[in-house]
Structure 1
Amino acid sequence: MSLSLSTCTLLALLTWFTTSLLLCNGFPAYQHHHHHPRFATHNYRDALTKSILFFEGQRSGKLPSNQRVTWRRDSGLSDGTAMHVDLVGGYYDAGDNVKFGFPMAFTVTMLSWSVIEFGGLMKGELQHAREAIRWGTDYLLKATAHPDTIYVQVGDANKDHSCWERPEDMDTTRTVIKIDSNSPGSDVAGETAAALAAASLVFRRCDPTYSKLLARRAMRVFEFADKYRGAYSNGLRKYVCPFYCSYSGYQDELLWGAAWLHKATKNPMYLNYIQVNGQTLGAAEFDNIFGWDNKHAGARILLSKAFLVQKVQSLHDYKGHADNFICSLIPGSSFSSSQYTPGGLLFKMSDSNMQYVTSTSFLLLTYAKYLTSSHTVVNCGGTTVTPKRLRAIAKKQVDYLLGDNPMKISYMVGYGPRYPQRIHHRGSSLPSVAAHPAKIQCSSGFSFLNTQSPNPNILIGAVVGGPDLHDRFPDQRSDYEQSEPSTYMNAPLVGALSYLAHSFGQL
């Protein structure tokens, strides 16, 4: 039977379309060399779905028709008008209504890294993860539209914090804060370059045009970060401190940004930049914290892949730097410098400690993947640490977060039988627009903050700051250190949950 030309064309188009769709929704799954364990105490797949859904509850701007967190409505639709720029969109970083560019960029970088490493295991959740990334990158493209300028904040945090109101009712000043050649910010600019570069890898095959736009912008933003050096909190202290003050300096972000651009563009100038500047940017610094402010450990792990897997010999030292970080986490190792609660939770800081739990778990699983690919191990002063051991430590941390802890509570809202009811989050704690269409004024919202009633809107998937050093968690709305969720707590967890769900045969 001979096919007509039009049928052939149709078939070719169909084949192209399904292949494109596969590219858009599928990442090559990396091969495991071990069988699925038979039994898992947690439904990691369910937790993964919820961890990504959370980002929809944090959206600012005009919400799309496929918005799943339906108690939220449009907000911040005039953001940027104070400076005659369009800054509508992006994310509220935590429980308030300010858009801080520094943690938002880190969130996008970590969501992208989660997809780059474990996207091939995500199945149906991959598309949602990409949408979460794109909601962030669309905003970062707006914030970097003008050369040598980045809009790094919308909203006055002090004024915002003096109100307890829904984002939909927001009437506090939407002050627009920027960095430029006169008031530099290599930290936030370096992180923004990292976010755009990492995201360009996520969209490389399914949306090449968008991917190229992200990569080109990342290069331009990084050039600005490197050329005009300085910490953004020097010039913007009254706006960004103490909220997202840059405590670790900007050197780590320059190294981190260069590492992501090296990975995304393969342009030799970035490898050269890393080789020339690595030491002065603190590559060998012995710190064991990884989060929105300090990127040293993440940069070491990322660059060690280029040596371990791609055999870039000039990055040999980063394997040693990465090993030092890993050894600092191993309980009982002679190099261990990490504190754990009696219940076994990694404890770095009393304020939003869970962000370090999720980011460290992600690094452990990612490094285990690189070590497995290169058939290598970590040597901690005579103790051999295998990839399997790293995975076990990461799993224990995630399991604690999901409910295996002395309080028998899940620190992810909406997961498990018992979870935080009174999270420090304006939109979640106030009645929704659907339930209460009339505006709730700035100060009248505080009556909701101070009540003992559970939050009326469940922010599914939100990970809160977590317990104290003694595994205690009071579940008090006013206790922002322990009860506030944030985008940068969830972002690395997406990758960790993808790996665990897959390894237990749930995906």
Structure 2
Amino acid sequence: MKRISVLVLLAVFMVSIVLQSAAAAGTNFNYVDAFAKSILFYEANWCGPDAGNNRIKWRGPCHIEDGKDVGIDLTGGFHDCGDHVKFGLPQCASASTLGWAYYEFKDTFIAKGQDEYMLNILKHFCDYFMKCFPNKTTFYYQVGDGDVDHQYWGPPELQTNNRPAYYAATPSNPGSDVAGDAAAALALMYLNYKDRDSVYADKCLTYAKDLYNFGMTYRGNSKGQSYYLPRDYLDELMWGSIWLYVATNDKTYMDNVDKLMVEKNIGGDNMFNDHWTQCWDYVLTGVFVKLATLSSNPKYKTIAEEHLNYWQNGIKTTPGGLKYLDSWGVCKYPAAESMVQLVYYKYTGDKKCLDFAKGQIDYILGDNPNHMSYEVGFGDNYPKYPHHRAASGMLEGPPADEKKETPERHILYGALVGGADINDQYHDNVNEYVYSETGLDYNAGFVGALAGMSRYFGENQLPEATPGIEGQPTEYYTEAKIYKANNQGITVDLNMYNIVTAPPRYETGLSFKYFMDLSEYASAGINPSKFTTKVYYSPAGAQISAIQPWDKDKNIYYVEVTFPNQQLYARTYVQFAVNNYESTLWNSSNDFSTAGLTDAYKKTENIPVYKSGVKLYGKDPSGGEEILYGDLNDDKQVDAIDFALLKKYLLNTDPTGINLRNADVNKDGEINAIDFANLRLYLLGKIDKLPI
């Protein structure tokens, strides 16, 4: 039988009637917009072969061999913070907190159109946990070496180092904490999903029971290298017990909570001052808040309310009003606590809890001394440099040698950063990660808090636009400067760019051409074969051709710099030279590619970029109208519409005559000028078939 007192049930029923319209007065922010954006963060941290199969199109498949070292599929799950390790405790705790948020505020998720997104995220968590539990005594809970991973700054799609299945819970190396949290997440998935897909929900419940039994039987803490060091595992086992009790109505689970409390020395008349709050290594706050509404034991309500009062009145507070628990991830604690207080308000109608949450969330969203939001992408003033490799899009080290301090390529919508310090000061610096770090557990309580705020303050609010999540077409260009020029030749420094961001990937077959006018040598009867060409420096292994004729009648020649078999991304640096040491006739002023160049870098169209011989960017000396990249209707998108327009132009026929839905003619994963060139040749009868 359920141990839920009649008085508790009556109180919950009465509160649900009277508090729905509790506090429209004083609304300062679009809480629904903040709520919707906070969910997007998890799509940006998505890991696996299906990354990018959601709203964040600047993400793509990554880490598709996770688990290969142990012979099982461990792909999936979520990257931890701004790095790419899949750590155990923060992932399991975050999944359970998010599941709890959906359970408590399901109607708000549905009403505000966020239910499909959230359920998709929760399912991705649970699919991964079930993969990680291939038998009843093995639970893989960390993939990737944190020390190795943290040395890499670049998009996850480009990360090539081996990612070991670093930790697994077994009878001899237990992980009761990760097992308890994962069991809670799976039990909550059963509750949240059973009316949608009962077969999947039942599967989650079966795994939840087995994981829970595994954690209860083989006791001990998980590991997390030096990054996540747990205190104890009893709270996570209680957390799993509670949600299995709610899911099954099996009294055994609630009895286990009481037994675990005794182990924690909270049995009998012993009380407990619960002054921390919900996070990756601490779920006791959630335990007591749920027990206060589930159990007839008044002790749990007393502990819960002492906790709520401490956060309202006793905890240290910054001058601007933020509740301050710890120096690392300052904002995540009051965000999580706001969720806790809103859940308690839902059941009791205690307005002090609602006022607390509003004050803390308003601070985080912009009502603070810096007048900035600590949720990326929300409002007009928010962090521009969150410590997040995927959003940065920059690749330090070869081949790009970019700097992470440069402007980030993507907006990490919805990410809660660590935030301001005890003095309300914030440093928007990607390297100062105490301020700018993001994380799975940072956003977990934040999502729940914003769901509650949307319920009680956002009745007539809607999400705003989130431009940029679709990504942009690949951008190709060159910038160059004259390193040295004299009467015997020229040395050029050049950066060639192939900014592939939707999603990031390496490219091969790229080259550029440098054009010269050698009329002064022709007049003197000097043969072009007397010229030397050389690459002085190229981290990407560039090779340069001999001088080639472009238009002999006009004495126009070129050299082509190629990168044989090299995978390139974003920025490729080359220093190259063309010289004739047997004469002193060189004159750079009449060269096509030198036009406008100085001793400072300048973007130039006169050094065009090619891929597999097809020009993607720039101009050559021939002039004339060309289809360069393929965006024929200038909508900043290359797609089947452009292909249909090209077909109609070339054949003057109905553009629906050929199936062009994909438009990636050569199946290289990208729609670009190479596809256009091949299609053009095919339609004009120059080639017999498309190179599919």
TM-score, structure 2 normalization? 0.61
Aligned counterpart, 1:356: 333
- Among 157, 174, 179, the alignment partner of 2:146 is 157
Aligned counterpart, 1:293: 281
Q: Secondary structure, in 3 states, of the residue corresponding to 2:195?
A: coil
1:277 aligns with 2:260: yes
More contact order relative to length (CA 8 Å, sep ≥ 6): 1
Q: Which amino acid aligns with 1:117?
A: E
- Among 76, 90, 108, the alignment partner of 1:103 is 90
Aligned-residue RMSD, C-alpha:
1.8
Once the two structures are TM-superposed, the CA of residue 241 in structure 1 deviates from its matched residue by 3.0
Aligned counterpart, 2:403: 448
1:467 aligns with 2:450: no
Deviations 1:476-507 (A, max 9, x none): 10111110111211122222212222322235
Deviations 1:282-304 (A, max 9, x none): 55432311211011111111111
Correspondence 1:45-64 to 2 at 5 A = 45-63=32-50
Distance 2:83 2:51 in 1: 21
How high is the sequence identity, in percent, across the aligned residues? 33
Distance 1:390 1:339 in 2: 17
Once the two structures are TM-superposed, the CA of residue 446 in structure 1 deviates from its matched residue by 7.2
Aligned counterpart, 2:238: 255
- Among 369, 374, 381, the alignment partner of 2:346 is 369
Deviations 1:57-93 (A, max 9, x none): 0000122675111111110111111101111111001
Aligned counterpart, 1:228: 218
Q: Compared with structure 1, are the counterparts of its residues 444 and 266 closer, same or farther at alpha carbon in structure 2 (3 Å cutoff)?
A: farther
Correspondence 1:363-402 to 2 at 5 A = 363-372=340-349, 387-402=350-365
Q: Which amino acid aligns with 2:385?
A: R
Once the two structures are TM-superposed, the CA of residue 184 in structure 1 deviates from its matched residue by 0.6
Once the two structures are TM-superposed, the CA of residue 229 in structure 1 deviates from its matched residue by 0.6
Correspondence 1:118-137 to 2 at 5 A = 118-122=105-109, 123=111, 124-137=113-126
Distance 2:176 2:414 in 1: 32
1:327 aligns with 2:327: no
Aligned counterpart, 2:549: none
Aligned counterpart, 2:19: 33
1:142 aligns with 2:119: no
- Among 55, 66, 79, the alignment partner of 1:92 is 79
Q: Which amino acid aligns with 2:382?
A: Y
Aligned counterpart, 1:426: 389
TM-score, structure 1 normalization? 0.83
Q: Compared with structure 1, are the counterparts of its residues 282 and 426 closer, same or farther at alpha carbon in structure 2 (3 Å cutoff)?
A: farther
Distance 1:74 1:172 in 2: 15
Once the two structures are TM-superposed, the CA of residue 262 in structure 1 deviates from its matched residue by 1.2
- Contact kept? 2:20, 2:455, Cα under 8 Å: no
Q: Which amino acid aligns with 1:243?
A: Y
- Among 317, 332, 337, the alignment partner of 2:299 is 317
Distance 1:424 1:405 in 2: 22
Aligned counterpart, 1:183: 173
Q: Secondary structure, in 3 states, of the residue corresponding to 1:178?
A: strand
- Contact kept? 2:51, 2:62, Cα under 8 Å: no
Once the two structures are TM-superposed, the CA of residue 172 in structure 1 deviates from its matched residue by 2.3
Once the two structures are TM-superposed, the CA of residue 45 in structure 1 deviates from its matched residue by 0.8
1:213 aligns with 2:203: yes
Distance 1:408 1:65 in 2: 33
Deviations 1:374-422 (A, max 9, x none): xxxxxxxxxxxxx111101111111111111001110011100000011
Once the two structures are TM-superposed, the CA of residue 443 in structure 1 deviates from its matched residue by 6.4
Q: Secondary structure, in 3 states, of the residue corresponding to 1:475?
A: coil
1:506 aligns with 2:506: no
Once the two structures are TM-superposed, the CA of residue 370 in structure 1 deviates from its matched residue by 1.7
Structure 2, unpaired ranges of 5+: 1-14, 462-692
Q: Which amino acid aligns with 2:194?
A: R
Q: Secondary structure, in 3 states, of the residue corresponding to 1:153?
A: strand
- Contact kept? 1:78, 1:88, Cα under 8 Å: yes
Distance 1:499 1:304 in 2: 19
Distance 1:491 1:32 in 2: 28
Greater gyration radius: 2
Q: Compared with structure 1, are the counterparts of its residues 417 and 305 closer, same or farther at alpha carbon in structure 2 (3 Å cutoff)?
A: same
Aligned counterpart, 1:406: 369
The answer to which structure has the higher strand fraction is: 2
Deviations 1:238-276 (A, max 9, x none): xx1321111x21111111111121112111110111223
1:71 aligns with 2:27: no
- Contact kept? 2:48, 2:63, Cα under 8 Å: yes
Distance 1:354 1:392 in 2: 17
- Contact kept? 2:339, 2:452, Cα under 8 Å: no
Distance 1:145 1:159 in 2: 26
- Contact kept? 2:47, 2:62, Cα under 8 Å: yes
Structure 1 window deviating more from structure 2 (414-423 vs 167-176): it is: 167-176
- Contact kept? 1:108, 1:199, Cα under 8 Å: no
- Contact kept? 2:234, 2:264, Cα under 8 Å: yes
Deviations 1:170-198 (A, max 9, x none): 12220102110011111111111111112
Aligned counterpart, 1:194: 184
- Among 227, 236, 242, the alignment partner of 1:243 is 227
Once the two structures are TM-superposed, the CA of residue 280 in structure 1 deviates from its matched residue by 1.6
Distance 1:251 1:79 in 2: 30
Q: Which amino acid aligns with 2:378?
A: Y
Once the two structures are TM-superposed, the CA of residue 96 in structure 1 deviates from its matched residue by 0.2
Once the two structures are TM-superposed, the CA of residue 447 in structure 1 deviates from its matched residue by 4.1
The answer to which structure has the higher helix fraction is: 1
Aligned counterpart, 1:490: 443
- Contact kept? 1:94, 1:486, Cα under 8 Å: yes
- Contact kept? 2:43, 2:55, Cα under 8 Å: yes
1:266 aligns with 2:221: no
Aligned length: 437
Structure 1, unpaired ranges of 5+: 1-28, 234-239, 308-312, 373-386, 432-439
